[in-house]
Amino acid sequence: MTKTWTAPEPADPPHAAVRQVETFDGLDDVADRVSKFVRDLLNDRRPLKDILSGTWLGHTLHPLLTDIPVGTWTSSLLLDLVGGEDSEGASDLLVAVGLASAAPTAVSGWSDWADSAAGNKPVSRVGLVHALSNASAIGLYTASLLARRRGARGTGKLLGLAGAGALSVGGYLGGHLSYVQGIGVDQTVFEARPDDWVDAAGADEVRDGQAHVATVEGADVLLVRQGERVYALAATCTHRGGPLGDGELIDGCVKCPLHQSMFRLDDGGVEQGPATTPQPAYDVSEQDGRIRVRAKR
């Protein structure tokens, strides 16, 4: 007799709530439409896409930008709670600065989410609710600022408090996207790479101008022969885990088939985003009809 064991749902309320979001397919239609719109819009504007992704920065831009609205709105909340009349102007200014920074922060987040939402329903659903929570916070803080300027400070403070609550929900879901679902994380970070030479493939398997993927100590390695030289990079795209072995070889680079990031074959450097992290590169040795690799030194 065969028994099937089903893992229980998380018992703690936060994880249980997120699990409900991850499995709620009622969000799919809106999420799919919005993510496709964002992808189509930004993929046709490559320089803007790379700026929003953080290609120039070396890691994802969105988390850096979130510090501004989160910091200013949190500071405003503290002044509302414990500050006196002398702090009212500072509190209002902090709300306004947070609102001014909210647009670029949101757009960079939409860009990251749209890439990851395709084909990943849990990420698509959680990302949509994350965005809606933050949009609610923006709306509440906008109403708060308007109330403050009308002189209705009590109403303004209450709206700011509600905005902080919506912002906290959005922040929690953003943390889940990053630290549980791995959005914005280098997809090769946990791959083992050999410090000493390890056999990867036969020399005749790696043909000129063609990509060949070999498995070395559990990690996929992309091997490309160009002329007299063989190059080796991690075969899993650092951006979203795309298969570089299926990518296009262009002018000494490999182009990921998922989101069109381009990496230089010689050192793994990012030639074109939205990737922000270089591909791990390997030293290559060809001898006695075999190709060996080791982590680049």
pLDDT digits (tens, 9 = 90+) for 256-282: 999 999 999 999 999 999 999 999 999
Average pLDDT score, the chain: 94
Q: How far apart are CA 55 and CA 221, in angstroms?
A: 23
Distances (CA, A) of 122 to 136, 171, 176: 21, 17, 11
pLDDT in tens, 69-86: 999 999 999 999 998 888
What's residue 119's pLDDT?
84
Spacing of C-alpha 213 from chain mean position: 25
Helix ranges, the chain (H): 13-22, 28-43, 46-53, 62-82, 88-117, 121-149, 153-179
pLDDT score for 198: 96
Confidence (pTM): 0.88
In this predicted model, what pLDDT tens digit does every residue of 12-68 receive, in sequence order?
888 889 999 999 999 999 999 999 999 999 988 889 999 999 999 999 999 999 999
Over residues 136-191, the pLDDT tens digits come to 999 999 999 999 999 999 999 999 999 999 999 999 999 999 999 999 899 999 99
The rounded percent of the chain whose pLDDT value lies above 70 is: 97
**118 band by pLDDT with thresholds 50, 70 and 90:** confident
- Please state which architecture CATH assigns to domain 198-295: 3-layer Sandwich (2.102)
Domain segments of the chain as ranges: 13-179, 198-295
The first and second tokens of residue 260, run together, are: 């069109």
pLDDT digits over 202-219, tens only? 999 999 999 999 999 999
Cis check for the bond before 14: say yes or no (omega within 30 of 0).
no
